[in-house]
Amino acid sequence: MKKPKLAVLVSGRGSNLQAIIDNIEKGTLSAELAVVISDQADAYALERARKHNIPAVHVSAKGFKGKRDDYDALLVKELRKRNVELICLAGFMRIITPTLIKAFPNRILNIHPSLLPAFPGLHVQKKAIDHGAKFSGCTVHFVDEGMDTGPIIIQAVVPVLDNDTEDSLSERILKQEHKIYSRAIQLFAEGKLKVEGRRVILADGKQSTDEFLINP
């Protein structure tokens, strides 16, 4: 099986990136990490990439205020140059535009720290607690032109405890993020993800999420 060439787009600490790198190195994820791109020069994620000899590129957003399409065109150029086949957003703090989405249709994934469609957007762990949700979790989905609205690939569920803080819930969710992101990428790599309208069906008819049902 040919390994897909991956790009991971980041803005910050890069713990999801690290989980992807570790799973590739362990051999449980069969992909080639072609490049890590950050809009922030000082993102720790870039350092993580360099430590593993993965090309780490800062694409500065300076001068692109109000010109998000132009910035994304620059990203497309960088991604094409490296023959990237799958883009994984992992804490990339920019809204991406149709310029990028149309260049990679059904080839952009995102990880989001809630059970979508509940709590799209930012600070969603706090929102889940404040709302009184009893369960939250994380979602890997294809990226479409909406905000956290694309077809859902995998979700993992965690309980929200009475004494949870934003930090404690975020940490519980993050542990699951690190598992399901690689799992979703592996399913993509195996050619198993079929998008039918809003639904993502596993080509081999298996359920993708049983193993992530509830994670204390």
Which residues are annotated as catalytic? 112
Query: Shortest distance, CB of residue 204 to ligand GRF, whole angstroms?
Result: 27
Binding mask 162-181 for ligand GRF (x = CB under 6 A): ------------x--x----
Helix (H, G, I), strand (E, B) or coil at 128: helix
Residue with tokens 């994984």: 88
Query: Shortest distance, CB of residue 82 to ligand GRF, whole angstroms?
Result: 21
14 binds ligand GRF (CB under 6 A): yes
The amino acid at residue 159 is P
Packing angle, helices 44-51 and 15-26, rounded to 10: 20
4 binds ligand GRF (CB under 6 A): no
Q: For residues 181-200, which are near ligand GRF according to CB under 6 A?
A: none
91 binds ligand GRF (CB under 6 A): yes
Distances (CA, A) of 214 to 6, 80, 112, 156, 206: 29, 39, 17, 7, 18
111 binds ligand GRF (CB under 6 A): yes
Distances (CA, A) of 203 to 63, 107, 134, 184, 208: 44, 17, 32, 13, 10
Stretches 7-15, 66-74, 187-195, 205-213: which one binds ligand GRF (CB under 6 A)? 7-15
Altogether, the residues listed in the chain come to a count of 216
Nearer to ligand GRF, 9 or 193 (CB): 9
CB atoms within 10 A of CB 175: 14
Query: Shortest distance, CB of residue 111 to ligand GRF, whole angstroms?
Result: 4
Binding site for ligand GRF (CB under 6 A): 12-16, 90-91, 111-113, 174, 177
